[in-house]
Amino acid sequence: MSYAEDLGKQSKKAWYMLSTLDTATKNEVLHALGSRLVERKDYILKENEKDVAEGKESGLSDALIDRLSLSEARIGGMADGVRSIAALPDPVGAVEGMKRLPNKLLVGKMKVPIGSILIIYEARPNVTVDAFALCFKSGNATILKGGSEAIHSNRALITVIREALEEVGVDRNVVQFVDTTDRTVVNELLTLDKHIDLIIPRGGEGLITFVAKNATIPVIKHYKGVCHVYVDDKADLDDALAIAVNAKTQRPGVCNAIETLLVHEGVAETFLPSLRDKMDEHNVSLRGCDKAVKVLLGIEPATEDDWYTEYLDLILSIRVVADIDEAIEHINTYGSHHSDAIVTNDHVRAMRFLQEVDSAAVYVNASTRFTDGAEFGLGAEIGISTDKIHARGPMGLEELTSTKWIVFGEGQIR
């Protein structure tokens, strides 16, 4: 049996136990993990230092080194996160819509864990703990494949997670760690339909595309965010300015930040100069369509590629549009169907935008930065799905469950 198959098989075997485990025991594990992360911080930090040192040696960017680096405060944050997941309600076992059929069969849908979930992610070691905790609470076994830059940190965190499991007497195989940088192992995991039920890839375009192309197992993609704010000519321009600046600059490196601003031609000449002043204050460089370039002399012209690009940086492309139709068409054509906002006081246009923009989250008069599990009241999230199937937008505990039809009979036949 190959290494990958062995991981998958053990994960599924452990899952059958986990799928029916009571909530109290699951919470006990999460609390044990919260304590243990703090107790074992020296060990975790020592292992993390190895990754950071190797990362610096191999020339990783400062941004990546920052994502990779742990500190006492960050470990404390992980522990708090785990405890807050313990405090969330357990979605497993709830039965919806139980009804009696004419033949007296009782039929309903029970929320059940999905199974064994393979999570593939990049440099941030805190994903290891978050993803395990969310999947575990919702009764799912995890197979974790983090970025090779974080392998020492992840190995240490998995060790601590397994210590917490063993402390409570739960099978350590409910979490599996892909402890290799050999890519053929990942390739094999992507096709182990018999043992793995779902793959969640989190990361850059290359990773997501690779997984979608090679997996035979269902995938929920957490893809890029090419998000927009559309400033209508019926907008309150002060609100529009505040929303655009917030959505671009409050945290430019995340998926719910905007990349493109669309503005109605009726207000372009009033709005864009004040936008430029504010964006200058935040060191945002602007790129514009032909019309925008005429209003904002000196800014760089945007190319066709710009409209598709997730900068994740202090860059904003600007397009002047004739009307809301052109705005909606632009968003549906070039966007990534993540988060998009209209700023307007026109009710009919607001409702049209809500209905016609094909995105996971659609906003009227608010910043796109709110697309987040905690902000939306899910408690925590494993990420933001850009797929339309199963879960769209922030994925919390509920979205980590499947359903099962349960049927109580008294000997009924058809």
Query: Nearer to a copy of itself by C-beta: 126 or 191?
Result: 191
Mask of contacts with a copy of itself, 143-182, x by CB under 8 A?
A: ----------------------------------------
**Out of 65, 107, 237, 267, which residue is the one contacting a copy of itself (CB under 8 A)?**
107
Among the residue ranges 174-182, 266-274, 311-319, 350-358, the one whose residues contact a copy of itself (CB under 8 A): 350-358
Q: Is 101 in the site for a copy of itself (CB under 8 A)?
A: yes
Pairwise CA distance, residues 201 & 250, whole Å? 26
Among the residue ranges 122-130, 172-180, 296-304, 353-361, the one whose residues contact a copy of itself (CB under 8 A): 353-361
Pairwise CA distance, residues 269 & 6, whole Å? 63
Q: Name residues whose C-beta falls within 8 Å of residue 123's C-beta, 6 or more positions apart in sequence.
A: 64, 67, 68, 146, 147, 149, 150
Q: Is 213 in the site for a copy of itself (CB under 8 A)?
A: yes
Count the Cβ atoms, other than its own, within 10 Å of residue 205.
11
Which residues from 233-262 bind a copy of itself, rule CB under 8 A? 236, 239, 242-243, 246-247, 250
Pairing type for strands 383-385 and 258-264 reads unpaired
Q: Name residues whose C-beta falls within 8 Å of residue 282's C-beta, 6 or more positions apart in sequence.
A: 245, 248, 249, 314
Q: Is 334 in the site for a copy of itself (CB under 8 A)?
A: no
**Out of 99, 169, 206, 298, which residue is the one contacting a copy of itself (CB under 8 A)?**
99
Burial label, 31 (beta-carbon count in 10 A; 0-12, 13-18, 19+):
middle
CB of 148 to a copy of itself, least distance (A): 25
Token pair 């469950």: residue = 401
Pairwise CA distance, residues 161 & 120, whole Å? 18
Identify the H or E element spanning 176: strand 175-177
Identify the H or E element spanning 82: helix 72-86
Among the residue ranges 38-46, 175-183, 295-303, 400-408, the one whose residues contact a copy of itself (CB under 8 A): 400-408
Buried b (16+ CB within 10 A) or exposed e, 177-186: bbeeeeeebb
CB of 321 to a copy of itself, least distance (A): 17
Pairwise CA distance, residues 350 & 346, whole Å? 6
Nearest of 307, 339, 154 to residue 243 by alpha carbon: 339
Query: Nearer to a copy of itself by C-beta: 71 or 187?
Result: 187
CB of 43 to a copy of itself, least distance (A): 36
Q: Is 359 in the site for a copy of itself (CB under 8 A)?
A: yes
**Out of 148, 269, 376, 379, which residue is the one contacting a copy of itself (CB under 8 A)?**
376
| Residues lying near a copy of itself in the complex (CB under 8 A) | 16, 19-20, 99, 101, 105, 107, 110, 114-115, 193, 197-198, 209, 212-213, 216, 218-220, 236, 239, 242-243, 246-247, 250, 332, 354-356, 358-367, 369-371, 375-377, 387-390, 392-394, 402-414
